[in-house]
Each structure stands twice: as C-alpha cells, then as structure tokens.
Homo-oligomer: A and B are copies of this chain.
Amino acid sequence: MRLALLVAALALATSANATETRIPDRALEQAAQLRERALADDTGWKVTESLTTEVGPRMAGSEADARAVAWAVAKFKELGFDRVWTEAVTFPKWERRSESAAVLGPHAQPLTVTALGGSPAGTVEAEVVRFADLAALEAAPEGSLAGKIAFVDFHMPAARDGAGYRQGSAIRSKGPSAAIRKGAAGFLMRSAGTDSHRVPHTGITRFDEGLTPVPSAALSVPDAGQLARLVALGPVKVRLAIDAGWDGTYTSHNVIGEITGRSRPKEVVLIGGHLDSWDLGTGAIDDAAGVGIGMAAAKLIAQMPKRPARTIRVVAFANEEQGLYGGRAYAAAHAAEVGQHQLVAESDFGAGRIYAFNTSAPEYARAATQQIAQMLAPLGIEYMQDKGGPESDVEPIATRGAAWGWLAHDGSDYFDLHHTADDTLDKIDPAALAQNVAAYAVFAYMAAEAEGDFGSKAKPEAAGAAH
C-alpha cells in the first residue's frame, strides 16, 4: 500500500508536469553562466555607441532612416546572427524644417520651443492664455480662446515607473485639439519632461478629425516657467513660427535578426527595440539602448556551446515614435504565427537598471516564469506578479494573442532626456546597460529552453483587425 501510494503520487506529479511549462535544470546552469558573462560584456554598449555615433539622429522618413536600416542589417551580420532580413513598413512622412518662438513687447525675449510631431506650418502672433493642466483647458468656455495661443503648463513629476508621463503625454496628444475647439490659433505646452534644461521635448500629436490643425509646440521646462512668470505680470503676446508638415509617404523597414533554434526553430522568443529616434538627439536611451540590448543578448546566447531549443528573434522596429508603425506592420505580417511567438518583449524605456519582471503567462506556465524570476533576482530584479504589460512595438502582436514579457527599467531620469536633444550616448551608464543585457539574455534564453509554452494563441477576433 505504501508503495502503491507512492507510485500513485509519482504518477500524479508526472501528470502535472506534463502540462506545466518548465525550464530544464541543464538550462538553468547555462542561464546562470550567461548572466555572469553578460555582466562582463560590452557588446550592448558598443552597439549603442555605434548606432548613436555613426547614424546619429534618425527620425522616421528622414535621410538617416535609410542609413539606420542599412546599419542594422550590417550590425546583425557582423554579430553573427544566423538569419537577417528586412520587412517593409510604410507610413506618412512628417518633416521639421524650422521652429521659433519669442515673447513680443516690453519683455521681448526668445523662447526655446520644439514643434510637436504632426504640427502644421504656420506663424501666430497672439496673446497667451495659461492653463495649469488639460482639464483646465477643456473647461474653458467655448470660443474663449478665439485667436489666442493656449499654454498648458502642467508640471510633470518624475517617477521610477514614469507614471507622470500619462498626464504629460495626454496633454501632447489631446491638448492641441482641445485648444482648437476653444478657438485657439496656436498651442504651447510645458514639455512632458522632468528636467530643468533648455531642451524642449518633442513627440507626436494628433488633431481630431474635422479640426483645422494649428501650430503646436513644446516649451523647454525653464521657458515654461519663464512664460508663466510673464503671464502672471500681465497680458503677454507671443510669436510662434513653425515650418513643418506632412509630405507624402515613406517606406522604411523593420530589421530582423535571428539566432535559429536547434530543435524548435519555428517557435520564437522575440526581443528588441525600435530603430528610429526623434530628430533632436541621437536617440541613445530612446531607443538605441533597446536595439543594443536585444542584439547583445542574442549574440551572447549565440556564443553558448549550442543554440537554444527555440529561435531568438531580435527586431529593430521602424517608426515607433510616430505611431508604432513598425510594431503594427510586424503584427500584421506575422498574424498567422502569433501562436509561435512564445514570449515577446521590447526594451523601450531607456537604459536604467531593470528592477521588475513579469510575464502574461497563464497558471500552467507560472513555474517557468518563477524560474526566470529566480535567475533574474541576483540582478536586483523583483518578480512583480500582476504588474506590467507589452512595451511599445510588441503591443500590437500581444493584442493579437502573443504572450508578453515585461522587464521594467528604472525610469527615474528617463523623462529628463526623452525626446530631447539631450538624449545622447553620454547619458547611459555602461554598467546599467550590461545589467539590462544580462536580464534580457537570461529571459530570452530561458524562454527559448522552456519545455511547454507561455500561453500565446491567436485571438480569432483580433487576427484581422485593422491598424
């Protein structure tokens, strides 16, 4: 009886194991070695340095967009990826030609601004009306801004998880349309940023259908403070002059490199970053770092004694900044393979140390998620069950049913730099970047070695969804 009970218990355990996703012990040993090797490796830094230096700023649709694509193809090959290819991504092209602003009259002085992506060209000379936040602008009486410049002066707080950006980016995306509905002839906002430098933060805006777009720009944080002080002294007239606009379409490319899996090559773990940047800086934290992390993590995996069971796919996405064009094109092109994407994760929140991890895996893959979390713990990474989500360009395929991984960078200073001229290589700490690479390498390798899946399954209703 005792033996029979033991046999029954073993059978039960085996049965549970048969449906539970787990990472084999031999892979755990390899993952631990990989982690330590990654911490001592500078590939992530070198790739990030190469992209930001040799290509520099690379706004979607600009001359440098094509150079960035060529750079990514060459870099994947140089790093020894097994397969490298590109997939076309077409989008409307926006150009920034010039931008300036100045206070007119007795306190005449220049103001440092940058046009919001999507702003039309135009010059407005008008009185400024200040609002503390978007709600205040939306509460203004109809027509009360006729011919005036709306100025939303929201002070964005810094936070490790970047929480303040929700409100800051909402002002950028919805503020111009709200201002136009009140009659405004121009829109200014305090940058959605947490720094104190004369480097305004750009970013895409959208104008609601049926509205006539007006010149829209962000003031640097110190300039917003200056304008607020001037407005407090009495009526202030500002001249805002923008030359920018949409000009046809452009076809760029997602650039993809693979380390081909040894036994289940059609099953892929997807990591990466976006290749485009805004034009003001060299896009180091946004998002050369993400590209560097993905390329370096996969390269380190490729240097292991044997390929992982599954394929590691690194994607350098096109045009994230103006509306996830690369991520949406990827999801559409690979709609039939959603279930083959085991886990998808993009690094698009800078290069601060990663402090949290989670996946969307269901209960039967919880143990594997915990195994990954245990391997990440020595890197100072906490398993935050029920937190996180798919970052940027992997959101479209996650929406179609792919399981996501979440590796959260400390973003305390991310919005000091985000979308500004100050987003340059010198802002990245090489040691933190190596920690990032170690985390992604461990994550990708373990997911690629897992026996069993993480719950990806194409959602029928989403498979044919439009962009």
Contacts and interface: CB of A to CB of B under 8 A. Distances in A.
Contacts of A107: 53-56
A12 B296 CA distance: 84
B425 A109 contact: no
B199 A64 contact: no
Interface string A413-437: 0000000111011110000000000
Interface string A191-205: 000001111000000
A117 interface: no
A462 to B, nearest CB: 40
A103 B52 CA distance: 13
Contacts of A67: 106
A421 B112 contact: yes
Interface of A: 49, 53-57, 63-64, 67, 103, 106-110, 112, 196-199, 221-222, 225-226, 229-230, 233, 281-282, 420-422, 424-427
A199 B422 CA distance: 9
A426 B222 contact: yes
Contacts of A57: 109-110
Nearest to A53: B229
B54 A233 contact: yes
A108 B54 contact: no
B109 A196 contact: no
Contact of A426 (B53, B109, B196, B230): B196
Contact of A225 (B103, B112, B230, B426): B426
Contacts of A199: 197-199
B53 A424 contact: no
Given A108-B63, A282-B109, A422 B198 contact: yes
A419 to B, nearest CB: 13
B422 A282 contact: no
Contacts of A63: 108
A51 to B, nearest CB: 11
Given A196-B427, A197-B197, A53 B222 contact: no
Top-10 shortest CB links A-B? A56-B109, A198-B421, A222-B424, A53-B229, A197-B197, A222-B426, A54-B107, A198-B422, A196-B426, A197-B422
Contact of A226 (B225, B229, B282): B282
A241 to B, nearest CB: 15
7 contacts: A53-B230, A63-B108, A64-B109, A222-B422, A222-B425, A225-B424, A225-B426
Nearest to A427: B196
A103 B53 CA distance: 11
A106 B63 CA distance: 11
